[in-house]
Amino acid sequence: MKVWMALLLMICAGSANAAFPDKPFRIIVPSGAGGPAELCMRAVAEVMRADLGQHFVIENVPGAPGNIGLERVANATPDGYTMIQASAANTANLASRPKAAFDILTLKPVGKVCQASFTLAVAPGLNIKTVDELVRHAKANPGKLSYGSIGHGSSQHLVAEMFSAAIGVDILHVPYKGESLVAAEMAAGRIQMMFMAGAKPFMDGGLIVGIATTNRETWPPIPNLPPIGKTAALPGFSYNGWNGLFAPKGTPDDRIRRVSQALVKAQSDEKVRALINTFGNQPGAGTPEELAAQVKTDLVRFRGIVESRKLVFIE
């Protein structure tokens, strides 16, 4: 009797696993519509849908530097159907506001969807074309330059502070609620520069001028721009952004792996790769291990910037 019961339980467990997924996935994006994280998720969603046999419903939940969306996913049933498309903005927020930010380390990594090289963009009215020109201009005009970000403690903010420290010039920080707003302000000449995660569409539209990227080597989606770290003014300067899927703590590992496999498959699709390139990004590796390593690396680096620049944030 015990043997038959054990066999029955094994069969039921196998059937349950085989049935996954049997309903649509819900993906929370903790930022406004049209941002890099949402665009990257939509780029892979159709191929993932075909592989998994279920639709992906994408929901934007902005607010409280991503905390609202992160907490909603953390409190969701850990069955693999509810995930969040988090990004470097969330690790930056945790490094900046450790008491108030949601601890992204409590979620389970599924896979990095896109990786990004920030583009150092400037206002067209500056008539600056290179990093060396920008650095000379900043040093000759102390206190007259400002840079935009998507908020206090965002990755754009912290990388700009890293730049400011590297050139030895303080630059005024002006936060906004999205990169599109900063692009418009740069086009109007009210903001002079920004490190942007999704600069390419604004460059193509003539709103801003890209002068370099933060990747160590030439960034394939924008091959005409040099790496900042290979310029005379800032040798070795580099940083890469990212966005990726996370699931609630307690989500079964086999379900995490199944979604990750679908993500990896989507990222190998040439049409998907080409679409992601149009955003100025590249596909990530799509594995839980790569994403977990990225989060840990981010936190070490961002905490170092906050400490060295003596940045103070309201918790």
Per residue in 90-106, pLDDT (tens digit) is: 999 999 999 989 999 99
Residue 46: which residues within 8 A CB-CB, separation 6 or more?
A: none
Q: How many CB atoms lie within 10 A of CB 63?
A: 12
Helix axes 36-52, 253-267, angle to 10 degrees: 100
Q: What secondary structure letter does DSSP report for 302?
A: H
**Nearest Cα to 38, choosing from 279, 268, 258?**
279
**How many angstroms separate the Cα of 227 from the Cα of each of 94, 117, 118, 279, 301?**
27, 9, 10, 18, 19
Q: What is the mean pLDDT of residues 158-166?
A: 95
196: exposed, middle or buried (Cβ count in 10 Å: 0-12, 13-18, 19+):
buried
Q: How many CA atoms lie within 13 A of 292 on its CB side?
A: 10
Which two structure tokens, joined as six digits, stand for 301?
Answer: 């680096």
What's the CA angle centered on 197, arms 192 and 201, to 5 degrees?
80
Tell me the sheet residues that pair with 240: 117
Q: What is the mean pLDDT of residues 262-268?
A: 97
Contact between residue 152 and residue 175 where contact means Cβ atoms under 8 Å apart: yes
Per residue in 108-155, pLDDT (tens digit) is: 999 999 998 999 999 999 999 999 999 999 999 998 999 999 888 889
Classified as helix, coil or strand, 61 is coil
Per residue in 281-298, pLDDT (tens digit) is: 899 999 999 999 999 999
Q: Is the pLDDT of residue 17 over 60?
A: no
Q: Is the pLDDT of residue 2 over 60?
A: no
> Between β-strands 25-29 and 56-60, what pairing exists: parallel, antiparallel or unpaired?
parallel
Tell me the sheet residues that pair with 58: 27
270's enclosing H/E stretch is helix 270-278
Q: Is the pLDDT of residue 35 over 90?
A: no
* Single-letter residue type at 154: S
Query: Mean pLDDT in the chain?
Result: 91
Distance CA 74, CA 106 (A): 8
How far is Cα of residue 251 from the mean position of the Cα atoms in its chain? 22
Give pLDDT, residue 192.
Answer: 97
Give pLDDT, residue 163.
Answer: 96
**Nearest Cα to 131, choosing from 120, 144, 142, 146?**
120
